[in-house]
Amino acid sequence: CAICLMEMEEKDAIILRACSHVYCTSCISRVARGPSTTCPLCRIPFCKQDMMKSNVVSSAAAKDDKNSLDRLGSQSLGPSPKMEALRSAIEEMRDEEKAVIFSQFTKFLDVIEQMLDRLGYTFARIDGSRRAVQRIECLREFSRDDGPRFMLCSLHAAGTGINLTRANHIFMMDVWWNSAVESQAMDRVHRIGQKRDVRVVRFVMCDSIEERMIEIQEAKAAIGKGVMEKLTPEELRRVRISNLRMLFQVKGT
């Protein structure tokens, strides 16, 4: 949330129709009750009818987004540098090896899925849309020697609680704000029961916001380890603001 700087679930997020900025329900509700109902970020006026639940918008748009991707087709898009790099990494694998591909964006997984299908590779997928029974079946198929060669995983849906030791390659397609989430995902493969060397590849765009996110991860790790637990809420808020300034290279006043 751009007001309180706290993480929020999609069900608690509010999108302003006028400008598409997103806030948590409690913060933007207080603004809406105040004397000036303007967006705290861009100052565009809004009314209560402009406040839309994020999960409602996502649900309504999901089918249309999927259809749009299908209509666009893989031939209409040139391969991105990340997709080219992923393809090269895949081609370096031995025939008997398997890989897990992590991304926090399901639409990115859709694009990767299209590429794998076009190249003739077999794959399975675990994301938030899969029920528990479906996930178990995907894991069972992936664990077989003749099963799918690639497992596409949403970082949040498959980052904890599952065993993917049949694979020995991990491809992290994007950077997550919390490095612990990434570590948990990698531990799905690099854990007890793994008998081979595990290769982890992180795909990071040069001179991009992803590089600055990694710098923040490293800074947070250096001061973490017990220090953050002793900070007051106000001190923690200042740290978050400092991280955001670093992320977007904004100098403090």
Shared domain for 192 and 213, answered yes or no, is: no
Shared domain for 44 and 111, answered yes or no, is: no
For position 252, what pLDDT does the model report?
A: 47
Shared domain for 43 and 83, answered yes or no, is: no
Residue 5 included in any domain: no
For position 248, what pLDDT does the model report?
A: 64
Q: What's the pLDDT band for 115 if we cut at 50, 70, 90?
A: very high
Shared domain for 154 and 231, answered yes or no, is: no
Number of domains in the chain: 3
Shared domain for 194 and 80, answered yes or no, is: yes
pLDDT > 50? residue 227: yes
Shared domain for 117 and 214, answered yes or no, is: no
Shared domain for 41 and 79, answered yes or no, is: no
Shared domain for 98 and 144, answered yes or no, is: yes
CA distance 203 to 210: 9
Average pLDDT on 208-214 reads 81
Domain hosting residue 229, numbered range: 209-247
Q: 178 and 130 in contact (C-beta within 8 Å)?
A: no
Q: Which helix (H) or strand (E) holds 103?
A: strand 99-103
Residue 115 included in any domain: yes
pLDDT > 70? residue 211: yes
CA distance 220 to 179: 9
Shared domain for 51 and 154, answered yes or no, is: no
Sort strands 22-24 and 13-16 into parallel, antiparallel or unpaired: antiparallel
Average pLDDT on 34-51 reads 82
pLDDT greater at residue 69 or residue 113: 113
Structural Rg of the chain based on CA atoms: 21
Q: Which amino acid is at 3?
A: I
Q: What's the pLDDT band for 112 if we cut at 50, 70, 90?
A: very high
Q: What's the pLDDT band for 253 if we cut at 50, 70, 90?
A: very low
Q: Which amino acid is at 176?
A: W
For position 41, what pLDDT does the model report?
A: 82
Find tokens 């299209």 and name the residue.
114
* Phi and psi, residue 173, nearest 5°: -85, -20
Shared domain for 237 and 186, answered yes or no, is: no
Average pLDDT on 49-78 reads 60
Shared domain for 160 and 43, answered yes or no, is: no
pLDDT > 90? residue 233: no
Residue 70 included in any domain: no
